[in-house]
Amino acid sequence: MHVTVVALGKIGLPLAVQYARAGHEVTGADVDARVVELVAAGRAPWDEEAHLAERLAEVVAAGRLRATTGTTAAVAASDVVVVVVPLVVDEAARPDFAAMDAATRAVAAGLRPGTLVVYETTLPVGTTRGRLVPLLEAGSGLRTGEDLFVAFSPERVLTGRVFADLRRYPKLVGGVDAASARRATAFYEAVLQFDERADLPRPNGVWDLGSAEAAEVAKLAETTYRDVNIALANQFALYAQSLGIDFAAVAEACNSQPYSHLHRPGVAVGGHCIPVYPQLYLAGDPAADVVRTARAANERMPAAAVAMLDRELEALGTPLAGARVAVLGAAYRGGVKETAFSGVFPLVRELAARGAVPVVHDPLFSDAELAERGLAAHHLGEPVDAAVVQADHRAYAALGAADLPGARVLLDGRGVTAEDGWDGVVRVVLGRGRR
C-alpha cells in the first residue's frame, strides 16, 4: 500500500515510521516546512520518543518514507490516508476545527476512488460522520461507502513510548459504514503487530466497535475515566491529609483487590488529553454532571496547593506575599518536553495573585524556552523561600535542601522527592502531609 500520514507530530511521525517499517510506501505530509525538511533527511525533530531516531533514519534511507508539504498531491497517490492533525482547543477546552477542516479539504482535493481515510485525532462524538465526511465528499465528488471509505480509529499511545503502546493495546476501529470498517480493519492488521495478552477478553489486535461513533465514545470514555478517577483520588488525598493519614498507603491497600483502581493524586492535571477530552465528551453529553464536577475539582487543585503552601509558610511566620517560590517542572508530565495545559501555568498565576514571586525550573527546558512560555527561569542552587514540585521528573527524586537554599517549605505535589536530605525544610507531600 501507499499510505499518507497527514501531520507529522509526536503521534503522526511515529505512525508513519511504523507503517514504513511494516513494508509499505509512506508519505508524511505537514504544513511545517522545517519538520518536513528534517524528516526527509531522516532526522527526528525531537529526541524524547524511544527508538524514533534510529527507526526514522532506517526507513528514510531505505526509501520507504518521504515527507512533503503538499498534502493534496501525496493523497492523490495513496491507497490510505491517516489524519492525525491536532484538534486545537482554547484555555476553556473549546475545540477549534480550523486546522482539521483545512487538512480535510486538502485531503479531499486529492482523493481518488477507492481511497480509505482514517481519522486518529480525538474528536467530539459525531464529528467524523457529521462534519468530516461531508467535507470529504464535497471536495472530492466521491460517495462514502461507494468509492470513498472513512473510519475513526483513535490513537491510544503515550508520547515517549508510542511504538511499545502500538503493540500492547488493541487498535479500536469504527467505520461510517460496514465497508469502511472492513477496509480500516484490514489496513491496521497489515501495519501493526500486537503483543499477546492473557488479560484481555479476546485476542489482542484490531477491534471493530461497529461504528465511528462507538470508537469516538471509546476514546473519550477511557480518558475521561482517568480524569474522574484522579479527581476522586485528589479528594481522598486532601481529606486523608487533613486527618494525618498517608493516602499513598491507603490507596496501595485499596488496590490490592481487583475492584479498586485508585489513581495517584497530583497538584494538577495537564497535557493534550486528560484535561481536554472530558470537555469534548461534555460537548455531546452536557448532562454528564459527574464528568463536569470531576473536571472542576481537578482545575481547583493548583489553587488548593498554593493555599496549602500559604498555610505552611504562615505557620513559620513567613508571608507568601513577597516570597520567591520555585515551581519545579514546566512540563505537564515527567520526562516529556511539553507544556500543553501544564499545571505550571495555573500555579504561577495563583502564586502571583497572592503576591508571591514565582520562578520556574525544568531540566528539559532552556531559559529561553521558558521565557517563550511567559515563565521566569530558576536554577537549582539559587535562593528561594519555598518550592512546589509540579512535574514528576526523575531528577527531582534526588533533590535536597542544598538545591533550594533558603527554602523553608517544600510542597511535593507529585510524591516524587526523597524522604531524606531536607533538614531545616518543612517537606509536605500531597496526600501524605508533613514527612
- Domains observed in the chain: 2-210 (3.40.50.720), 231-435 (3.40.50.720)
Share of the chain above pLDDT 90, in %: 95
Rounded average pLDDT over 144-167? 96
92 — pLDDT class (breaks 50, 70, 90) = confident
- What pTM was estimated for this model as a whole? 0.92
Share of the chain above pLDDT 70, in %: 100
Would the pLDDT of 16 be above 90?
A: yes
pLDDT tens column, 260-294? 999 999 999 999 899 999 999 999 999 999 999 99
Rounded average pLDDT over 15-43? 98
pLDDT at residue 94, as a whole number? 81
433 — pLDDT class (breaks 50, 70, 90) = confident
pLDDT at residue 338, as a whole number? 92
Would the pLDDT of 18 be above 70?
A: yes
pLDDT at residue 255, as a whole number? 98
Would the pLDDT of 235 be above 90?
A: yes
Would the pLDDT of 347 be above 70?
A: yes
Rounded average pLDDT over 42-71? 96
pLDDT at residue 93, as a whole number? 72
Rounded average pLDDT over 244-259? 96
435 — pLDDT class (breaks 50, 70, 90) = low
Which residues, at least 6 apart from 310, have a Cβ–Cβ distance to it below 8 Å?
320, 354
187 — pLDDT class (breaks 50, 70, 90) = very high
Would the pLDDT of 116 be above 90?
A: yes
Rounded average pLDDT over 291-300? 97
pLDDT at residue 31, as a whole number? 97
Q: Which of 232, 302, 251 is nearest to 432 (CA)?
A: 251
pLDDT at residue 47, as a whole number? 87
Which residues, at least 6 apart from 127, have a Cβ–Cβ distance to it below 8 Å?
216
Buried b (16+ CB within 10 A) or exposed e, 110-131: bbeeebbbbbbbbbbbebbbee
Would the pLDDT of 91 be above 80?
A: no
Mean pLDDT of the chain: 96
Rounded average pLDDT over 345-368? 98
pLDDT at residue 48, as a whole number? 85
